[in-house]
Amino acid sequence: MSSFEELRKTRIEKIKLLEKAGMEPYPATSKQDYSISEVIADFDKIAKKSSINLCGRIMAIRGQGGLIFININDGTATFQGLLKKDEMEEKVFDLFQNTIDIGDFIEINGKLFITKRGEKTLQVSDWKILTKSLRPLPEKWHGIQDEEERLRKRYLDIIFNHDVKEMIVKRAKFFASVRIFLEKKDFMEVQTPTLENTAGGAEAKPFITHYNAYDTDVYLRISPELWLKRLMVAGFPKVFEIGKVFRNEGVDAEHLQDYMHFEFYWAYADYNMGMEFVEEMYKYIAKETFGTLKFKIKGFDIDLETKWQKYDYVEIIKEKTGIDIFDTNIREVENKLQSLKVEYDKKGLNLNRVIDSLWKYCRKQIAGPGFLVNVPVMMEPLAKRMSKNKNLVERFQPIIAGSEMGKGFSELNDPFDQMERFVEQAKLREEGDDEAQMMDGEFVEALEYGMPPTFGFGVSERLFWFLEDKSGRDCQIFPFMRIKG
């Protein structure tokens, strides 16, 4: 029998001892008069009470003989308890000593006092088991060392890794700040479908599943964009959505296959107004979440307070690679990518994809903050053309630490132009580009009823990953893991 199996067997035997003593090892009810953080914050006042009840997980047990010190944590803070054999019922003390382990959840009753060493403490007069743990927690100072095991057992990582717990708190603040900012600007939160007949609104490969009730294959959405724009057709002036999107593509530090995403749409606004709005929003989110506008990200020193630059898509590629994207071909761009030792996907290859790979090489050299502008129409099937240059679209992307942190544009509301671009995207799909956008005739039909001039913007939780300067898997609470074995 392994040492783990022996420990587990011993703890099961302790459950029997608890039951024999008339104590339910997994009771439904508990009594918690205060959270531990409340006791610490208002100790002098609460200490005047004759007794209080605290609850939490035992994180440490020390002492011997007739004295036992414990540390319990209830998720808000850690607090010390003291059991004295000569100041409580002997059988109650002995039962604790014989059955309780680190990791168990307990309820303790007693009076607050301060030890000679100045430690705020609860002297325990009685206790109750709330949950008997069967598995020992990892050793406090080392935790789980294996990366895969750490993510698989994230709940243990959170217990012992303060940075992970703080990251999760900041993640919650991040999405709360998005919601607060947009609602203050009179945007209305909505929810749109996750299952779709047509996966649209972005260039990505979708997940496919089967809808049993209708006996048809459907897609998990890659973006809520086309649904939200239908609401602009319907007459709502400002809407936003925060929710999951799914993209059946590769996984790396900056890309995951299911993640949180938010988009907003603003009637009678354009991408110039949008740039000012997004800069203000990013500063608000950063300040509310992290308390600062200065960050160290992937080796770049980023100050969101500085003047945001504008980067010309066409000119930057020409400056850094010598390629004029309006006067080139796939072979020339491929040769340049190979000479620069840039890896790129050769499946479903077309000019758009190789130019995009060239841009990704260039962007890694741009610190930001700023906005990428002057993107060719062939790269964006959903944005409005510029009135002064029909080869470009009114689109921007915030650039931070060598990567794109969102996308916004003056939305294409011309149904004829939209249909033409869907047709071009359909040709790319037929040629093997499974990330090209699908034809959505119902969306074009909605546009034929009329959509006002609109600005739209979307960004994923990758913005949080970057500001936190960690990988996507580290910044998700429970990232997807392969089935063990």
Q: Which two tokens stand for residue 1?
A: 């029998």
**Cα–Cα distance for residue pair 128/54, rounded to 1 Å:** 10
Pick from 301, 415, 326, 316: nearest CA to 373: 316
Asked if residue 353 belongs to a domain, the reply is no
Residue 351 CA: distances (Å) to CA of 92, 198, 230, 354: 77, 25, 31, 5
Q: Which of 137, 166, 184 is the last residue of a domain?
A: 137
Could you give the angle at the alpha carbon of 383 between the alpha carbons of 206 and 419, nearest 5°? 75
| Residues 291 and 215 placed together within one structural domain of the fold | yes
284, with CB counted inside 10 A (0-12, 13-18, 19+), is middle
Q: Which two tokens stand for residue 56?
A: 């939490």
Asked if residue 229 belongs to a domain, the reply is yes
Q: Are 96 and 68 in contact (CB under 8 A)?
A: yes
Q: For the chain, 485 residues long, give each residue's pLDDT as a single digit of tens.
A: 578 899 999 999 999 999 999 999 999 999 999 999 999 999 999 999 999 999 999 999 998 789 999 999 999 999 999 999 999 999 999 999 999 999 999 999 999 999 999 999 999 999 999 999 999 988 755 556 778 888 999 999 999 889 999 999 999 999 999 999 999 999 999 999 999 998 877 778 899 999 999 999 999 999 999 999 999 999 999 999 999 999 998 888 888 999 999 999 999 999 999 999 999 999 999 999 999 999 999 999 999 999 999 999 999 999 999 999 999 999 999 999 999 998 887 776 788 889 989 999 999 999 999 999 999 998 888 889 999 999 999 999 999 999 999 999 999 999 999 999 889 888 888 888 777 788 888 999 999 999 999 999 999 999 999 999 999 999 999 999 888 76
**Cα–Cα distance for residue pair 479/252, rounded to 1 Å:** 12
Specify the long-range contacts of residues 185-188, CB closer than 8 Å, at least 24 apart: 185/238, 185/277, 186/238, 187/238, 187/239, 187/240, 187/264, 187/266, 188/236, 188/238, 188/239, 188/240
| Residues 14 and 71 placed together within one structural domain of the fold | yes
Q: Are 110 and 81 in contact (CB under 8 A)?
A: yes
Residues in the chain, total: 485
| Residues 286 and 166 placed together within one structural domain of the fold | yes
DSSP 3-state assignment of 211? Answer: strand
Q: What is the pLDDT of residues 288-333, one digit of tens each?
A: 999 999 999 999 999 999 999 999 999 999 999 999 999 999 999 9
Q: Which of 107, 137, 167 is the last residue of a domain?
A: 137
Pick from 129, 124, 136, 5: nearest CA to 63: 124
| Residues 286 and 190 placed together within one structural domain of the fold | yes
Residue 215 CA: distances (Å) to CA of 210, 212, 427: 7, 5, 28
Q: Which of 105, 137, 169 is the last residue of a domain?
A: 137
Q: Given this model, what pLDDT does residue 1 score? A: 59
Asked if residue 334 belongs to a domain, the reply is no
Tokens 């490969």, residue located: 205
Backbone angles phi, psi at 325, to 5 degrees: -65, -15
Asked if residue 480 belongs to a domain, the reply is no
Q: Which two tokens stand for residue 40?
A: 């610490």
Asked if residue 319 belongs to a domain, the reply is no
Asked if residue 196 belongs to a domain, the reply is yes
| Residues 97 and 56 placed together within one structural domain of the fold | yes
| Residues 290 and 433 placed together within one structural domain of the fold | yes
Kindly give, in sequence order, each residue whose CB lies less than 8 Å from that of residue 294, ignoring residues fewer than 6 positions away.
Answer: 301, 302, 303, 304, 305
Q: What is the pLDDT of residues 207-255, one digit of tens each?
A: 999 999 999 999 999 999 999 999 999 999 999 999 999 999 888 888 8
| Residues 190 and 128 placed together within one structural domain of the fold | no
**Cα–Cα distance for residue pair 104/246, rounded to 1 Å:** 38
Q: Which two tokens stand for residue 18?
A: 């608890």
Write the CATH number for 24. 2.40.50.140
| Residues 169 and 129 placed together within one structural domain of the fold | no
**Cα–Cα distance for residue pair 155/151, rounded to 1 Å:** 9
Q: Given this model, what pLDDT does residue 166 score? A: 96
DSSP 3-state assignment of 304? Answer: coil
pTM of the model: 0.90
Q: Which two tokens stand for residue 421?
A: 């671009």
Pick from 432, 91, 435, 468: nearest CA to 289: 468
| Residues 126 and 273 placed together within one structural domain of the fold | no
Q: Given this model, what pLDDT does residue 64 score? A: 78
| Residues 162 and 132 placed together within one structural domain of the fold | no
Domain that includes residue 443, residue range: 157-308+368-475
Pick from 171, 386, 352: nearest CA to 259: 171
* CA dihedral of residues 4, 6, 9, 14 (deg, nearest 10): -100
DSSP 3-state assignment of 219? Answer: strand
State how many domains the chain has: 2
Write the CATH number for 272. 3.30.930.10
Q: Give the other-Cβ count within 10 Å of 237's Cβ.
A: 16
Asked if residue 94 belongs to a domain, the reply is yes
Asked if residue 444 belongs to a domain, the reply is yes
| Residues 116 and 220 placed together within one structural domain of the fold | no
| Residues 92 and 63 placed together within one structural domain of the fold | yes
